[in-house]
Amino acid sequence: MNNKKYLLILLPFVCLFFFSACAQHHIVYPSPKGFDLNNGEKLFVPDALHELSGIAFPEESSNHIFANEDENGIVYFFAPGEKKHQEIKFAKKGDYEDIAISNGFIMVLESNGSIYTFPYTDLLQQNAESVKVGKHIIPKAEYESLAASPMDSLLYVLCKKCAVDNKSKSLTGYILAISKDGDISLKSEFQINEQQIDHFSSLNGKKFRPSAMTRNKKTNQWYILSSINKMLVVTDDKWEVIGAYPLNPAIFNQPEAIAFDNAGNLFIGNEAGDKNGKATLLKFKLN
């Protein structure tokens, strides 16, 4: 067989591979109304946030974004897009997962359910001096999601892996009250139905494992992120699922943090994952 005939035989297979690869690269993933999760603005992330695990904005301003990583008891804050950052130490090393700001307090969730609280005014110092630790407020389990609702002075914590959900098709969350002194107490519970998630996007027989959550103040909807499931779930204010969106793994390699700024723009942070990678912070503008 001469070279020309050989090339003619191979040509259809080469074209098929080429167009298949291009099609995969240009897959457009669905997005919640008002956003395009296929096109985000990549913002600078300090090297200290290699294992980025939580982000939040103060209720009164979006000039600074607050963040934590999952090993050191430090809160970092910086203007979105700028390379300079400040930090405040609030505790020793641990396993810290998410951050929330409300009623003049900064709160950080530990994976076992403990919540560290200190006044916003402590940011003027290098170390937080008025830290309170809320232990045993919720059942000991695995948690990664914490969000604040300034309009009602409440905190919301969602189970990632709780014994109470092992044999059910639901996910348990806890609603906590914040006192004027920064003390936290349990108020009530709520559930999210996994079958409702399946209705919009299949969980493929797996449990839904949230890694972060936040409230959209413009719509009162909850946005719940899952790194394991590579999915963003949206519920209404009664925790009824109204959408579930698979995430492009090329963009969201390890999504662990989520927040809205006061203009309604959506921010999602990815942990670096491996030692050679870098954390990413993406801004998705409200259309």
DSSP codes, 221-238: EEEEEETTTTEEEEE-TT
- For a pLDDT cut of 70, what percent of the chain falls above it? 90
pLDDT, tens digit, for every residue of 25-61? 468 899 999 999 999 999 999 999 999 999 999 988 8
pLDDT band at 275 (very low <50, low <70, confident <90, very high): low
pLDDT, tens digit, for every residue of 190-201? 999 999 999 999
Q: What is the mean pLDDT of residues 63-92?
A: 95
pLDDT, tens digit, for every residue of 55-68? 999 988 899 999 99
Between 111 and 14, where is the model more confident?
111
The SS3 assignment for 111 reads coil
The per-residue pLDDT of the chain, averaged, comes to 90
Cα separation, 163 vs 208, in Å, equals 14
Overall residue count recorded for the chain in this entry: 287
pLDDT of residue 171: 97
Q: How far is CA 34 from each of CA 37, 104, 265, rounded to the nearest angstrom?
A: 10, 30, 9
For residue 20, pLDDT over 50 is answered with: no
Helix (H) or strand (E) holding 156: strand 154-161
Range of weakest confidence among 10-19, 116-125, 129-138? 10-19
Residue 198: Cβ-neighbour burial (10 angstroms; 0-12, 13-18, 19+): middle
Q: Are strands 105-110 and 115-119 parallel, antiparallel or unpaired?
A: antiparallel
For residue 130, give every residue at least 6 positions away whose Cβ sits within 8 Å of its Cβ, in sequence order, or none: 118, 119, 122, 182
In which residue are the tokens 């430090």 written? 74
